[in-house]
Amino acid sequence: MGGSPHALLPALPVTSTDHLLVGTDAGAAPAATIDRAISALTTTLYAVEHANALRVFPRLAAR
């Protein structure tokens, strides 16, 4: 899963976490797997997974 620290660490030497977004398609993993990965995220990874996207797409934050 892309939500693991090991999947994100290679990007950190070239950018900061506030410039990273993580995306997935629904068919890549069962919903339960995605939910478990998201619930295990640290604050930094939560920003990459969710908060940064809301900053880039403010219309979605209003939902």
Please check the confidence at residue 3 and state whether its pLDDT lies above 60.
Answer: no
Average pLDDT over residues 32-42: 72
Report the pLDDT value the prediction gives residue 1, as an integer from 0 to 100.
47
Q: From CA 19, how far away is CA 35, in angstroms rounded? A: 23
Of the two residues 25 and 34, the one the predictor is more confident about is 34
Where in the chain are the domains? 5-61
E strands, the chain, where?
A: none
From residue 45, alpha-carbon distances to 6, 16 in Å are 11, 12
Per-residue pLDDT tens over the stretch 21-33: 766 665 667 778 7
Q: Cβ–Cβ contacts within 10 Å for residue 55, how many?
A: 12
**1: Cβ–Cβ under 8 A, 6 or more apart, which residues?**
7, 29, 33, 34, 37
